[in-house]
Amino acid sequence: MKKLLCIIGFFLVFLFGVFLRFYNLDSIPNSLDWDEAALGYNAYAILLTGRDEYGYVMPATFRSFGDYKAPLYIYLTVPSIKVFGLTQFAVRFPSAFFGSLTILAVFSFVWELFKKEKHALLLAFFSMLFFAISPWSIQFSRGAFEANVSLFFVTTGGWLLVKGVNRNKKMILLLGIVSFLLSIYTYQTEKIFVPLLLLGFLIWQRKYALQHKHFIALVIVFFLASNALWLFSGNATARGVSLTFTSQQTTLLQHSVQELQQDKVNGDIFGQILENRRVVYAGVFLQNYLTHFDPNWLFITGDLARHHAPGMGDLYLVSLPFLLIGIFIFLEKYLKKAWIILYWFLISPIPSALVIGSPHALRTLVFLPVWQIFEAIGWVSIISLENFKRIFVFNLAGVLLFINFAYYCNMYFVHINTDDGPDWQYGYEQAVQEAYQINKNNKTVFMDNSIEQGYIFYLFYNKIDPQWYQAQGGSWLTTKKCFNIQHVYFGACGKAAKAILITAQQQDQKTLTKLQTIFYHNGEPALYIYQSE
């Protein structure tokens, strides 16, 4: 009977998590952002021609807007587009799908990790529950975010490695390593995070590793295979290099250079050492790192609008006391056996701290199952309270969590489209479809630079034939200041009489007549369509 209840609860939670990830996936958020559109169109191009938007055959890294994308998400989207067509749903499907599977991976991982502890099943169950309803996970499962798929592979890899060691099975260990490798081919952050994590695993299981040389061999295989990525293409790291904070020397060092000059004038050697570039960089890294523990970021404000529900952070406010208690109990009880969890927690922000723009919820998505595990430990600790207290605290916490969850659902599912329209590039879809119609009548359309990366939306929403597009030169066109696809001109082009202009900026009315305004859901104007005389 008890077992049956457990199984029913398990499936209910899983199905609920799936529901939260798939419910109205195509319309909440109501529009694709440019990365999603690029992923989608590249997958579409691969599906039909075997080449990407630039015409490369089955590339190992995808060039996109002067950046490079890891390949796996795009290849996963190919079957999705085959089945569902070139739609918003199809582009987001892999993320929602793997986000749902991660719920199961979290359960398995926690279960495997704490198997010998008293409340292992409850811990695994609560971790899974909190992950299923986690705003952080839901946020990135409901958009085509490569990081979310990558998180699945990291969690699964972790689970398989622990399981492989526990049962001493080479095959499972191999699968775990493969899973880690796949995560590296899915998202950039993992290129730093996963090697660090694997090193941690090796030290954590050093006894096993010393007795079973195949484990060490597998780790070596991992490092060789992950470096193979660099052999395929040096572009794989371009994104990382362009974003690291050392590339922002001027702004970062400005202040210290001033003081350095003053120190030199004063002959202050000590001061000169302190303002040294390396010392400043170390400081910036630590500062970036610690911003990821700012409670406001975690619970109240979040960072970019695309990374959290309106008016909320990515963790439930109600979970704060349970997190603190959970971390305390973890340190007291589980640290020796499962310190890898704490290690995972502490290295999660490292990749994000190396680049500009901290804190960053997407780059630190690998934080994820750990917050939920700590929270679960906090909740399970209630069970050790005395009878009366236990019922009281449990119910109170449950009610509060429910309220918090309901608030989140309201903020996300009801308000994201009205509040965050600009951040999801709302209006581009209508604009490019409008442009397509006008273009069919052999009229010229201009989309100026205020419409960022408009061409990819044009390709995506109008299902432009990739073969035709590649024949025109593919996205190499976009390297020009002004380029056209059919009769639609993008970028900084001149003016022409009797043409249509689509722009995000309101224009001088004298030379242009406004034909149409595209509005956000909240009634604010998004884009304007003009006709020149």
300 touches another protein (CB under 8 A) = yes
Structure tokens, 80: 């999705």
54 vs 520, which CB is nearer to another protein? 520
Which range touches another protein (CB under 8 A), out of 133-141, 184-192, 235-243, 291-299? 291-299
Structure tokens, 90: 């199809």
**What burial class does residue 515 get, using C-beta atoms within 10 Å of its C-beta: 0-12 exposed, 13-18 middle, 19+ buried?**
middle
Pick from 291, 433, 472, 532: which binds another protein (CB under 8 A)?
Answer: 291
Q: Number of helices and strands (H, E) in the chain?
A: 25, 8
- Amino acid at the residue 240: G
494 vs 523, which CB is nearer to another protein? 523
Evaluate whether 532 touches 498 at the Cβ level (below 8 Å).
yes
Which range touches another protein (CB under 8 A), out of 59-67, 295-303, 377-385, 426-434? 295-303
- Least distance CB 287 / another protein (angstroms): 5
Closest CA to 529 of 178, 188, 46, 512: 512
- Does residue 94 have a cis peptide bond before it, meaning omega lies within 30 degrees of 0? no
Nearest 5°: the CA angle 211, 373, 398 is 155
Nearest 5°: the CA angle 311, 312, 318 is 135
Site residues for another protein, 226-285, by CB under 8 A, read 259, 262, 266, 268, 270-271, 274, 283
Closest CA to 94 of 107, 83, 110: 83
CA separation for the pair 369, 375 (Å, rounded): 10
6 vs 406, which CB is nearer to another protein? 406
Pick from 301, 433, 516, 532: which binds another protein (CB under 8 A)?
Answer: 301
195 touches another protein (CB under 8 A) = no
Pick from 187, 299, 412, 461: which binds another protein (CB under 8 A)?
Answer: 299
Computed over its alpha carbons, how large is the radius of gyration of the chain? 26
HSE-up (13 A, CA, CB side) for residue 279: 10
Q: What is the DSSP letter of 349?
A: T
- Give the residue carrying structure tokens 């044009």: 458
Structure tokens, 487: 């009769």
Structure tokens, 404: 């918090």
- Least distance CB 300 / another protein (angstroms): 5
Evaluate whether 497 touches 506 at the Cβ level (below 8 Å).
no
Structure tokens, 405: 């969850």
415 touches another protein (CB under 8 A) = yes
Pick from 23, 293, 402, 468: which binds another protein (CB under 8 A)?
Answer: 293
- Least distance CB 436 / another protein (angstroms): 31
- Least distance CB 410 / another protein (angstroms): 6
- Give the residue carrying structure tokens 């292992």: 120
User: DSSP alpha helices (H): ranges in 169-276?
Assistant: 170-184, 190-204, 206-211, 213-232, 238-243, 249-266, 269-274
Closest CA to 73 of 188, 176, 157: 188
12 vs 331, which CB is nearer to another protein? 331
- Least distance CB 418 / another protein (angstroms): 5
47 vs 356, which CB is nearer to another protein? 356
**What burial class does residue 401 get, using C-beta atoms within 10 Å of its C-beta: 0-12 exposed, 13-18 middle, 19+ buried?**
buried
Site residues for another protein, 354-373, by CB under 8 A, read none
- Least distance CB 294 / another protein (angstroms): 5
171 vs 331, which CB is nearer to another protein? 331
One symbol per residue from 492 to 531: x for binding another protein (CB under 8 A), - otherwise; what is it?
A: ------------------------------x---------
Tell me the pairing of strands 488-491 and 445-447: parallel
Pick from 295, 357, 398, 525: which binds another protein (CB under 8 A)?
Answer: 295
Site residues for another protein, 461-490, by CB under 8 A, read none
Structure tokens, 267: 């002959």
- Least distance CB 110 / another protein (angstroms): 23
Which range touches another protein (CB under 8 A), out of 41-49, 99-107, 413-421, 439-447? 413-421
Pick from 7, 203, 210, 290: which binds another protein (CB under 8 A)?
Answer: 290
- Least distance CB 405 / another protein (angstroms): 12
- Least distance CB 455 / another protein (angstroms): 32
Q: What is the DSSP letter of 133?
A: T
Pick from 27, 211, 242, 296: which binds another protein (CB under 8 A)?
Answer: 296
283 vs 398, which CB is nearer to another protein? 283
310 vs 473, which CB is nearer to another protein? 310
Question: Hey, what's the torsion of the CAs at 39, 33, 477, 83, to 10 degrees?
Answer: 40
Pick from 55, 200, 240, 311: which binds another protein (CB under 8 A)?
Answer: 311
One symbol per residue from 313 to 332: x for binding another protein (CB under 8 A), - otherwise; what is it?
A: ----x----------x--xx
The backbone torsions φ and ψ at residue 53, rounded to the nearest 5 degrees and listed phi first, read -65, -25
- Least distance CB 516 / another protein (angstroms): 24
262 vs 505, which CB is nearer to another protein? 262
Interacting residues toward another protein by CB under 8 A: 259, 262, 266, 268, 270-271, 274, 283, 286-287, 290-291, 293-296, 299-301, 311, 317, 328, 331-332, 406-407, 410, 414-415, 418, 522
